[in-house]
Amino acid sequence: MCGIVGFVGRQQAAPVLLQGLSKLEYRGYDSAGIAVFTDKNNITVEKCKGRLKVLEEKVDGGKSIKGEMGIGHTRWATHGEPNYINSHPHVGGTNGSDNVAVVHNGIIENYIDLKKYLQTRGYNFVSDTDTEVVAQLVDYFYQSTNGNSMEAVKKTINKLEGSFALGIMFNNDPEHIYAVRKDSPLIVGLAKIGNFIASDIPAILPYTRNVYLLEDKEIVVLTKDNVAIYNIDGEPIKKEVYIVDWDVSSAEKGGYEHFMFKEIMEQPDAITETISPRIKNGQIVLDDVKLTKEDINNLDKIYIVACGSAYHVGVVGKYIIESQARIPVEVDLASEFRYRSPIITKNTLVVIISQSGETLDTLCALREAKRLGARILSIVNVVGSSIARESDDILYTWAGPEIAVATTKAYSTQLSVVYLLSQYLAQQKGEMTQKDTDELLQNLQLIPAKIQDMLKNCTDIQYLASKFYNAKDIFFIGRSLDYAIGLEGSLKLKEISYIHSEAYAAGELKHGPISLIEDGTLVIALATQPRLYDKLLSNIKEVKARGAVVLAIVQEGMDTASEVADYVITIPKCDPLLAASLAVVPLQLFGYYVAAARGCDVDKPRNLAKSVTVE
């Protein structure tokens, strides 16, 4: 969600901050601001509601604020409406003095109690945010410790409940930026021009590949020549430098109009990068997974826990794992998992799926599962992320950076890892012969080429998008794996085009949803599973009889679909268990083209954020 950048170094800070914030726009935001310690020896704050370009114009690209140290922020509103006053940075101090500037990502759960306490100490509040409470609290402890910046930060951290990543500057401390995180992402960048803090790597990638990955409640003190890290007791900590192994071009559009389209087109390479190193001599090699054959045979249940598109990967995973490995699987929304008293034993495996590895609901679910004694296996894209660090076993998806808010290649690579995990479990349990494994792995390795062929000609999908971009409601139907694919197709469409869409299990139509079908309603029917094909054709006839226009997605060779559907998109013939990897591609493209035709901000849809780091 909110994006943070901080810089102290040997060049003007404002342009560096603005550039860094531009690399974090994908996180979703409604306002932006910077605070710079200026050449006049004070902190100057400039902020505004709206897009970053409004702020850039306001400060003339950073030229109007001179100074070599500053913090910046893009805000996604949680407390208080999006406006100038609620924008970050926030300042703290009594009697109109601005002694402290703070930027914050996360949610302070006890901010109301802290606010009441500070009001009794003479602090006045102007915003509706929880972040202003942090700024005022830092100032309160700064004053009570006779101007000791480090003590003020430590005391503040100990009072805060909730999640936070903080960047802090003091008006009487012109050389230091202080930073700390708890349950919200924050990294440190080490560069020749100076040192950085940031919510994510793309913000600092133009300047350095060398970063520190912070643990909870580690306090960072930055100067232009040095980075010092301390624990909550103020004791120095030594950190290993993590070297970022992807380059700036990976996080740029590369000539495409939108990041989303670029990332759709990158899926064949991303899937290849993810699966190829894990298939060696016909065997599945899961690098950082230490589950033994005995562990697997003792499993009583698997929970797959995730949010959004990652949850939809989990739904596919349930069908695949139960079919292949014959282990009971439950799929849970991370935001609900820890509130329903899940039944977990020492023989329960919890599979956590998250692109960023920082999704707070998912991280909290992981911790609850771990507290209850489960073994944790995570599927994440970001190396060294919080979820990765707190898991027993890790399977990385090597998708590279994904900038568009609506996930595409992260979904596809997560799905590929689930296929590998499922086959690995099945083989270890003796549910699949080597011959069966060989055949499935060969088919899996063909998936990238088949997607590549599908992406060479998108004109039919673009044409269909041009016909239906003004639709009011669109429904997706399918059975078994096709229902799981429909969930993701519906989400892609609604989140970027703002068209109301829903996915239903086709067999449930007559239990209520069919009442929503009117003349001209578009129904996208997924029929990629041969054993359920005839049943799906019957469902198509049901909605056609009530006036629906039907777009069917089928495998090559399923020719009879054209006799009942108005439009048909075919995907290459494949093993039915792998159909989700192919069928999702035309749905991604359809959503993309519809949103583009409607003039929507495809990469940064309203009200959404790439990494949801608040509950």
Give dist(CA 425, CA 375) in Å, integer: 15
Residues 345-376 have pLDDT tens digits of: 999 999 999 998 888 899 999 999 999 999 99
| Torsions phi, psi for 363 (to 5 deg) | -65, -40
Give dist(CA 352, CA 364) in Å, integer: 11
- pLDDT class of 609 with cuts at 50, 70, 90: low
Would the pLDDT of 386 be above 80? Answer: yes
Residues 1-59 have pLDDT tens digits of: 688 999 999 999 999 999 999 988 766 678 899 999 997 778 999 999 988 999 999 99
What's at 441, amino acid-wise? L
Direct distance between the N- and C-terminal alpha carbons of the chain, in angstroms, rounded to an integer:
11
Comparing CA positions, the residue from 106, 104, 162 lying closest to residue 138 is: 104
Average pLDDT on 570-599 reads 96
Q: For residue 81, what pLDDT is reported?
A: 79
Would the pLDDT of 80 be above 80? Answer: no
How many CB atoms lie under 10 A from the CB of residue 163?
A: 22
Does 107 or 470 have the greater pLDDT score? Answer: 470
Burial class of 249 by CB neighbour count within 10 A (0 to 12, 13 to 18, 19+):
exposed
Residues 267-286 have pLDDT tens digits of: 998 899 889 889 888 889 88
| Torsions phi, psi for 236 (to 5 deg) | -65, 145
Domains annotated on the chain, with CATH:
3-250 (3.60.20.10), 259-455 (3.40.50.10490), 459-597 (3.40.50.10490)
Give dist(CA 576, CA 533) in Å, integer: 11
527 contacts 553 by C-beta, under 8 angstroms: yes
How much of the chain, in percent, has pLDDT values that exceed 70?
97
Average pLDDT on 338-347 reads 91
In the chain, % helix, strand, coil (3-state, to 5) comes to 40, 25, 35
Residues 6 or more apart from 273 whose CB is under 8 A from it?
398, 399, 400, 413
Residues 410-422 have pLDDT tens digits of: 999 999 999 999 9
pTM for the model stands at 0.74
Does 481 or 257 have the greater pLDDT score? Answer: 481
Average pLDDT on 574-584 reads 95
Would the pLDDT of 82 be above 90? Answer: no
Average pLDDT, the chain: 91
Give dist(CA 544, CA 125) in Å, integer: 59
Comparing CA positions, the residue from 85, 53, 86, 89 lying closest to residue 72 is: 89
- pLDDT class of 398 with cuts at 50, 70, 90: confident
Q: For residue 1, what pLDDT is reported?
A: 60
Comparing CA positions, the residue from 148, 158, 176 lying closest to residue 217 is: 158
Q: For residue 248, what pLDDT is reported?
A: 59
Burial class of 501 by CB neighbour count within 10 A (0 to 12, 13 to 18, 19+):
buried
Which residues carry out catalysis?
2, 610
- pLDDT class of 598 with cuts at 50, 70, 90: very high
Three-state SS letters, 358-389? CCHHHHHHHHHHHHCCCEEEEEECCCCCHHHH
Q: For residue 469, what pLDDT is reported?
A: 94
Residues 46-64 have pLDDT tens digits of: 999 988 999 999 999 989 9
353 contacts 388 by C-beta, under 8 angstroms: no
358 contacts 387 by C-beta, under 8 angstroms: yes
Taking the CA atoms of residue 287, residue 293, residue 298 and residue 300 in that order, the dihedral angle to the nearest 10 degrees is 50
By residue count, the chain amounts to: 615
Does 615 or 261 have the greater pLDDT score? Answer: 261
What's at 132, amino acid-wise? E
Q: For residue 465, what pLDDT is reported?
A: 95
Average pLDDT on 79-84 reads 81
| Torsions phi, psi for 269 (to 5 deg) | -65, -40
Give dist(CA 94, CA 100) in Å, integer: 11
Residues 93-142 have pLDDT tens digits of: 987 778 999 999 888 989 999 999 999 999 999 999 999 999 999 999 99
Does 476 or 359 have the greater pLDDT score? Answer: 476
How much of the chain, in percent, has pLDDT values that exceed 90?
73
DSSP sequence for 35-101: EEE-TTSSEEEEEEES-HHHHHHHTGGGTTS--SEEEEEEE--SSS-SSTTTSSPEEE-STT---EE
- pLDDT class of 183 with cuts at 50, 70, 90: confident
